[in-house]
Amino acid sequence: MSMAAPKAGRLRQFDGRDRWVALAMAGIPTILHVALVWIPTIASILLSFTDWKGIRFSDINWVGFKNYEQIFTVFQKNFFQALINNSVLLIFLFIGPTALGIGLAYLLDRDIRGTRFFQGIFFTPVVLSLAVVGFMWQSVIYSTENGLATQLFGGGAAIDWIGNQSFLIPFGDDYGVSRNFVAILVAIAWRHTGYIMVLYLAGLKSVDTSLREAAKLDGSNEWQVFRHVVFPSLKPINVVVAVITVIEALRAFDIIYVLNTPRKTEVLSILTTNNLLGEGGGNVGRGSAYATILFVLCFGFVIWYVTNHYRATQEGADS
């Protein structure tokens, strides 16, 4: 009966006790989430305008934009290099792990022998703890004298993978893409590819196989089938991968951190951690300013994604 008048039906979804039950079900988790995630976020933004040392509330002094000013002047070389590194990472994640991940997913989606086994291998790095991953790359692969990469490419000589901060691609005198950052990108690719691969594998499973077959019968070659049939139908996955990639590129932290953050490989999250928590931490004001910059970059993108996603849902629901 209420079906006939959906608007009225909506209002009558809850009555009496149900209203309170529903409110509690949504409210308690929301309070927890807001209290521990959003309120601290706002507090960090406020703290970025202070010179707080992080010990007593009574020592909080407002300093206006001083922390930001310092980041953009005396600490600019660190800051802009970090910004460059985040950007390079973003581009790299798209052309490296994402492309390779799609490729592997496409190959493994065919009925090849041992596909589960291969999937397992590629996905293993994703489930490993970062401490383990850091150890593997720092010691096993990139150790200057003993590492595998040195033994393979050094021809008997030592190679400084992690410490070589000279620019492979310089942007002027002070900035660029350093060699050790490239080495770290390889480690990041190792971890990220499996993630992307799995997302696309799932996406490919939902591609209508009859479309593929039909395209093949039309005489399209493998690439054309992928380009015109498979890839377009992966659009929802593409959106998710884009979101994950952008956010991961901005938030990137762990592998670089466990490798001791070699010089010129700093990213924004590392600068934040170093100033906020690290041995040289205790400068909550400046650390929070770094955190706020990172937040603003992430948040702009998050807003875009969330509004898009829910607008689409909304429209879907209303139509």
Phi first, then psi: give them for residue 176, nearest 5 degrees: 165, -170
Task: Pull the structure tokens for residue 241.
Answer: 């991968």
Side chain identity, residue 114: G
- In angstroms, the CA 75 to CA 69 distance is 9
Q: Which of 8, 91, 277, 300 binds another protein (CB under 8 A)?
A: 277
- Supply the angle between the helices 284-318 and 268-276 in degrees, to the nearest 10: 130
Region binding another protein by CB under 8 A among candidate stretches 40-48, 87-95, 223-231: 40-48
Compute the least distance from the CB of residue 312 to another protein, in Å.
Answer: 9
Closest CA to 79 of 89, 90, 69: 69
Compute the least distance from the CB of residue 160 to another protein, in Å.
Answer: 3
Compute the least distance from the CB of residue 91 to another protein, in Å.
Answer: 20
Task: Pull the structure tokens for residue 184.
Answer: 């770290």
By CB under 8 A, residue 276 contacts another protein: yes
Q: Which of 82, 88, 184, 291 binds another protein (CB under 8 A)?
A: 291
- Sorted by sequence, the CB contacts under 8 Å of residue 202 that are 6+ apart come out as 237
By CB under 8 A, residue 35 contacts another protein: yes
Q: What angle do CA 253, 255, 260 make, to 5 degrees?
A: 95
By CB under 8 A, residue 231 contacts another protein: no
Residue with smaller CB distance to another protein, 5 or 74: 74
Residue with smaller CB distance to another protein, 98 or 180: 180
By CB under 8 A, residue 205 contacts another protein: yes
Closest CA to 257 of 145, 135, 143: 135
Compute the least distance from the CB of residue 233 to another protein, in Å.
Answer: 12
Q: What angle do CA 262, 267, 269 make, to 5 degrees?
A: 115
Compute the least distance from the CB of residue 131 to another protein, in Å.
Answer: 4
Residues 103-162 interacting with another protein (rule: CB under 8 A) = 104, 107-108, 110-113, 116, 118-133, 135-137, 139-148, 150-151, 158, 160-162
By CB under 8 A, residue 233 contacts another protein: no
Side chain identity, residue 28: I
Residues 51-80 interacting with another protein (rule: CB under 8 A) = 51, 53-55, 70, 73-75, 77-78
Q: How close are the terminal C-alpha atoms of the chain, in Å?
A: 21
By CB under 8 A, residue 214 contacts another protein: no
- In angstroms, the CA 226 to CA 222 distance is 6
Residues 172-201 interacting with another protein (rule: CB under 8 A) = 180, 190, 194-195, 198-199, 201
Compute the least distance from the CB of residue 143 to another protein, in Å.
Answer: 7
- In angstroms, the CA 264 to CA 168 distance is 12
Residue with smaller CB distance to another protein, 2 or 227: 2
Residue with smaller CB distance to another protein, 2 or 91: 2
Q: Coil, strand or helix: which one is 62?
A: strand
- For tokens 């309070």, what's the residue? 31
By CB under 8 A, residue 317 contacts another protein: yes
